[in-house]
Amino acid sequence: MLKMYYGVNNAETNGGSYDPLDIDSPNFHAENYLRKIKQEKSLSELMDAENDMAKQIRTLDSEMQTLVYENYNKFISATDTIRNMKRDFRQMETEMEKLTSNMANITQLNSEINDTLKENRQKISKLAGVHSLLKKLQFLFELPAKLQKCLETGAYSTAVSYYMKTKSVLQHYQHMESFSGIERECIAIINEIISKLKQTFHDKNSSAPQLAECVGLLLRLGEPAGLLCDEYLQHSRHKLDEDLQMLFSFLPYSTFYPCTLYLLGTSQHLLIDVLEFIDRGSNGFLSNLSLTIAAYENLFIKQTEITSVKLLSFVEELLNSYFHLVEERLMMDRRSRDNALVVRALDRFYRRLQATINLLPSLDIMTLGKAIIVRVAKARCEHYKLALEEFFMDCLTDARHAISSPKGSIGKSTPVTLNLLDLVNSTASAILNQVKSVLADVQLFTVRDINFSNMSYFSREFSCQDVREVIIVSFLQYISETLRKFCDRSGGPRSGLPPPALLLLLSRLCRDFEQNTAAYVLTLTDEQFVINTKDRKTEVSVFLTAEMGATAQRLLECFVQQSGVSVSRMIRTSVEARDWLRSVEPRQVRAVMRRVVEEITQTDQQVGSLYEEGVRKARSSDSSKRTHPFNQTSVSKQRERSHWGVYAPSSTMDNSLLSNIQKLFSERVDVFGAVEFSKTSIMTGIVKIALKTLLECVRLKTFGKFGLQQLQVDCHYLQLYLWRFVADEHIVHGLLDEVVSSCVHRCVEPVAMEPSVIDVICERG
């Protein structure tokens, strides 16, 4: 044992060194070691080694002695210990034997007891079973009574739970008389309960939670879910329909169910404003609807897909009619003045819808709602367009009144002329202000804190299409078109032509629009609504201004024609009505001519207040006002001399030649020609029309001597006063010359008046 112990120790300490020359190795070979030492070491070294060796041997000896001693001691003590143990074990053995015998006793006793108790235990268990059965039976027998009680107290849910517990048992023991009796009773009661439940269910006044309870119970009683859904929905529909009816009653008139209005007889609160309407709609209908949906979902959540489909169609149908009502109401307000109210109503509507959307994510409420909002917005835009157009028409009527009224009362020209410019400005600014206010109103739709303004429609299409195109652009076009209608001669304007002053005013207005207002309005719109479709914008504005310009031009031409025609009508009637053959010697200028000049002067003032002077042809030095008569006489003398030649048959050729040559040098005059936007151009147009009329009328008459002279006087008078209105006085000269020469042709006794006399007569006038 020890060797083993040490061996291991040796192996551990000297493991691997089996060198026979190593003195500590177990394989140590003394002979070899000695030989080696003898060979390798010197004598002294050997001596030292021998000493060393001796010393080591000695120490090793002493160590061994102590070791042996110690081991001996330990061996002694171990022997003592083993002896003690032997003694103790012997004692223990006796006690163990005692224990074993005791245990055997206990086992025996135990089995004995067990045997005695065995019978009783079986009995007890049997008894317990019977007891529980009896208890159940008792419950069953008591069930109808309990159910009855529950029915009486209205605790339907307890009743139902009781019934549900016993239902299977009863069904199982149906064949036994007593059980089937109970079952029949129970079923009767339960049926009663069911009918009661259904009654509550159908009762219009029962509340939503009550309903929910009913439905829950009925479901548990195994009523078919689909049917219940239907009934439930039917029921909630009643209530929601009531809400709708109420809303409907707030519509002042109706396009459908016309009779319901009378049935409800709610005429006293016929008109509530849109906001309130929406409020009522949201609070009444929408919240009830949400409740219904929530309750329904709770009740029928575990049911099949059919129920949810049913719900969907139900909700959709109701919402549709609701939307219908809302839209109708909103549309009724599409012409209302209070845009803010409409916008707020819409906003509220939108918010409520957003709140509702979470209930039924599968239903596309928002698209419908959005569509309504878009439609309303569009309708509002249409309304504003119409309102603008109406306003414009009102402006026109006002202007028309303003023009026609002072003429009647005051008659004199000065206040009228003052009015015209003011009128143009006030009309223009009124229109502009109206446009601005409309823009501001419409802008409410896009304000940030309005919820629906962040719909994609409102960011782009609304401002671009509806505001810009529908309202502004079409308004401008409308102005242009309306004004154009004023100068539509071909369409047969049978009833009252517009007064010339109005045409003038409108042409100026239109010109203003062309030059800046139209562009300004467009830019304003673009700025306010942040529209940045650059290329289209310029195109449209260019197109619009061009259109406006054309309209202004046409209005102006129309004005020139109108005033020209009114002057020429005076001239024509005056020429046609008179018997020129037998007229007396002229003493004065005819009153008509004075009136013509007066009228033209007045027109000139009107035009002057609105249009600038314009270009005049450089005046020849001798055409200034005062020297003019002399000049004219000399000219007319010359000319008349040439016409007198008509008498002499020989000189006819010369005459026609002469007049032709004269015409060669004078330019062709376009009588109803284009007009520029300047006073002189306008007045030239009017004067030309008047004089040409005079010419044509003269050619249709036959003149006596004094007739010719009277005409000479008239022409001279006209020449005196008309030259200053026109751009090129030669036009006046030329036309008047032609009038006189035609008159000479048409005169049976062409004796001209002395120019000096003409002068005198005209001076007197």
Choose one: 100-108, 423-431, 435-443, 647-655; the region binding other proteins (CB under 8 A): 647-655
Applying CB under 8 A, among 656, 667, 760, 763 the residue interacting with other proteins is 656
Measured from the CB of residue 572, what is the shortest distance to other proteins in angstroms? 8
Name residue 214's amino acid: C
Tell the smallest beta-carbon distance from residue 752 to other proteins (Å).
15
Look at residues 228, 150, 221, 227 and name the one whose alpha carbon lies nearest to residue 187: 221
Query: Binding of other proteins at residue 398 (CB under 8 A)?
Result: no
Instruction: Name the CA radius of gyration of the chain, rounded.
Output: 63
16 vs 496 by CB, closer to other proteins: 496
Q: CB 418 → other proteins: shortest distance, Å?
A: 31
Nearer to other proteins, 187 or 646 (CB): 646
Q: Does 751 bind other proteins (CB under 8 A)?
A: no
- The beta-carbon contacts of 588-592 under 8 Å, at least 24 apart in sequence, are 588/713, 588/761, 588/764, 588/765, 589/713, 589/714, 589/717, 589/761, 589/762, 589/765, 590/710, 590/713, 590/714
Binding mask 572-611 for other proteins (x = CB under 8 A): ---------x------------------------------
Distance (Å) of CA 484 to CA 49, 307, 454, 462, 487: 147, 64, 40, 29, 5
The nearest distance, CB 746 to other proteins, in angstroms, is 7
Structure tokens at 85: 């143990």
Stretch that binds other proteins, among 189-197, 375-383, 491-499, 514-522 (CB under 8 A): 491-499
Q: Is residue 672 close enough to count as binding other proteins by CB under 8 A?
A: yes
Give 408 or 649: the residue with its C-beta nearer to other proteins.
649
- How far, in Å, CA of 106 to CA of 120, rounded? 22
CB of 742 to other proteins, least distance (A): 8
Phi first, then psi, for residue 204 (nearest 5°) are: -65, -25
93 lies in the binding site for other proteins (CB under 8 A): no
Answer yes or no whether residue 366 interacts with other proteins by CB under 8 A.
Answer: no
Please give the Cα distance from 742 to 752 (Å, whole number): 13
Q: Are 23 and 33 in contact (CB under 8 A)?
A: yes
Q: Which of 739, 746, 753, 758 binds other proteins (CB under 8 A)?
A: 746
Q: Closest CB to other proteins among 429 and 702?
A: 702
Q: With CB under 8 A as the contact rule, which of the stretches 7-15, 247-255, 303-311, 645-653 interacts with other proteins?
A: 645-653
745 binds other proteins (CB under 8 A): yes
State which residue, 372 or 556, has the beta carbon closest to other proteins: 556
- Cα distances from 295 to residues 100, 291, 353, 550, in angstroms, run 76, 6, 18, 68
By C-alpha distance, which of 495, 501, 471, 506 is closest to 389?
471
**How far is residue 273's CA from residue 337's CA, in Å, rounded to a whole number?**
12
**Main-chain dihedrals φ then ψ at residue 750, nearest 5 degrees:** -75, 90
Evaluated on CA atoms 126, 132, 136, 142, the torsion sign reads positive
Q: Is 730 an interacting residue with respect to other proteins (CB under 8 A)?
A: no
Q: How far is the CB of 692 from other proteins (least distance, A)?
A: 6
- DSSP-derived secondary structure letter, 588: S
Among 16, 408, 411, 491, which residue interacts with other proteins (rule: CB under 8 A)? Answer: 491
Q: If binding is defined by CB under 8 A, does position 660 make contact with other proteins?
A: yes
Site for other proteins in 680-719 (CB under 8 A): 692, 696, 699, 702
Q: According to CB under 8 A, which residues from 211 to 240 bind other proteins?
A: none
Nearest to 682 by CA among 540, 553, 521, 549: 553
End-to-end CA distance of the chain: 174
For position 489 contacting other proteins by CB under 8 A, the verdict is yes
Side-chain-side CA neighbours of 196 within 13 Å: the count stands at: 20
Q: Does 652 bind other proteins (CB under 8 A)?
A: yes
Identity of the residue numbered 102 = N
Nearest-approach distance from CB 437 to other proteins, in angstroms = 39
CA 235 distance to own-chain centroid: 36
Structure tokens at 182: 């109970």
C-beta closer to other proteins: residue 117 or 674: 674
Residue 565 touching other proteins (CB under 8 A): yes
**Does residue 646 bind other proteins (CB under 8 A)?**
yes
DSSP 578: S
Out of 209, 222, 224, 673, name the contact with other proteins by CB under 8 A: 673
Instruction: Tell me the CA distances in angstroms from 10 to 6, 13, 49, 271, 568, one per residue in order.
Output: 6, 5, 25, 120, 156
Cβ atoms of 295 and 325 within 8 Å: the answer is: no
User: Judged by CB under 8 A, does residue 736 bind other proteins?
Assistant: no
Considering beta carbons, is residue 240 or 727 the nearer one to other proteins?
727
- Give the CA count within 13 Å in the CB-facing half-sphere of 755: 14
Size of the residue set binding other proteins (CB under 8 A): 32
Does position 258 interact with other proteins (CB under 8 A)? The reply is no
SS3 content of the chain, % helix, strand, coil (to 5): 80, 0, 20
Residues in 494-553 at the binding interface with other proteins, rule: CB under 8 A: 494
Per-residue binder mask for other proteins (CB under 8 A), 625-644, x = binder:
--------------------
Q: Quick check: 567 binds other proteins (CB under 8 A)?
A: no
- Which residues of the chain form contacts with other proteins (CB under 8 A)? 489-494, 565, 569, 581, 646-647, 649, 652-653, 656, 659-660, 663-664, 668, 670-673, 692, 696, 699, 702, 745-748
